[in-house]
Amino acid sequence: MKPTTLSDLWQLKKEKRKFATITAYDASFAHIFAEQGINVMLIGDSLGMTMQGFNSTLPVTIEDIAYHTRCVRAGAPDAFLIADMPFMSYATPEQGCKNAAKLMRAGANMVKIEGGSWLCDTVKMLTERSVPVCIHLGLMPQSVNILGGYKVQGRDQSSANQLINDTLALKDSGMQMLLLECVPTELARQVTEKLTTIPVIGIGAGNATDAQILVMHDALGITAKPPKFAKDFLKETGNIRDAIRLYIEQVESGIYPDQAHSFN
Ligand code: KIV
């Protein structure tokens, strides 16, 4: 297999072909995801909840993400891996560079950081030093204590405008991918259209984005109280490999997410 690169993902955007991505934390699942055709995986700090049993992502450390990135890389040698920079690991651009290096050395192809235009200097510094950056906007789980819970973001005009302005500023600073979590479908559509070359991955952001991501525990019906946008593909298929195939097919054809799994 040829390794998946950022250029491949930019090409998919150009050709308006949707792609499915998923979180992965270990070699065995990463291998199954790659074997079924998922070429992009996120080593998300959601591992704090899914793997470590905490009630937020805040306790996760850079060493935790580096460890799981190495595991996923071992199981999926050709996949494009995005590794999450955990809470407080990029509070300054310099700290961000030092910690991003640990994830790139562990096998990541790109790092993901949560936040708006305050991250412009960090994005510039990282990309100038050859670290591709995905920005996470909308519901940012690391900011749960500021946001007052896990709520849909960008519902009113001023916060929607803020999100669009942040996106454009970060694009100008060098952002190479965007992840939008829990925002209304229409806002995600506008952002996806404004970013004419950069792929936008959505989760709880409707079906107008270029790609979708799900936490693997949500896609496989493991999460006790799944969010509204999550779909249990294992329930429909009865085995993990078919569940992942169905997820990919429904994303690529635009069937998932439907209205019932989106916010309007
Ligand atoms: O950490 C994570 O799993 C995420 C999700 C939004 C996919 O960032």
pLDDT for res 101: 98
Ligand 1 contacts CB of residue 215 (under 6 A): yes
- Tell me the pTM: 0.98
The tens digit of pLDDT for each residue in 37-76 reads 999 999 999 999 999 999 999 999 999 999 999 999 999 9
Q: Which of 29, 40, 41, 45 to mutate to test the pocket of ligand 1 (most atoms within 8 A of CB)?
A: 45
Residue 1 in domain? no
Confirm or deny that 112 is annotated as ligand binding. yes
Residue 146 in domain? yes
The tens digit of pLDDT for each residue in 127-143 reads 999 999 999 999 999 99
Confirm or deny that 46 is annotated as ligand binding. yes
Residue numbers of the domain that contains 98: 6-261
Ligand 1 contacts CB of residue 218 (under 6 A): no
Q: Which of 51, 179, 215 to mutate to test the pocket of ligand 1 (most atoms within 8 A of CB)?
A: 215
Cα 247 to ligand 1 centre (Å): 17
Residue 150 in this model has a pLDDT that exceeds 90: yes
Cα 29 to ligand 1 centre (Å): 16
Residue 111 in this model has a pLDDT that exceeds 90: yes
* CATH classification at residue 24: 3.20.20.60
| Residues assigned a catalytic role | 181
- Kindly give the number of the ligand 1 atom that is closest to the alpha carbon of 23: 3
d(CA 22, CA 219): 9
Domain total for the chain? 1
Cα 209 to ligand 1 centre (Å): 16
Nearest CA to ligand 1 atom 8: 44
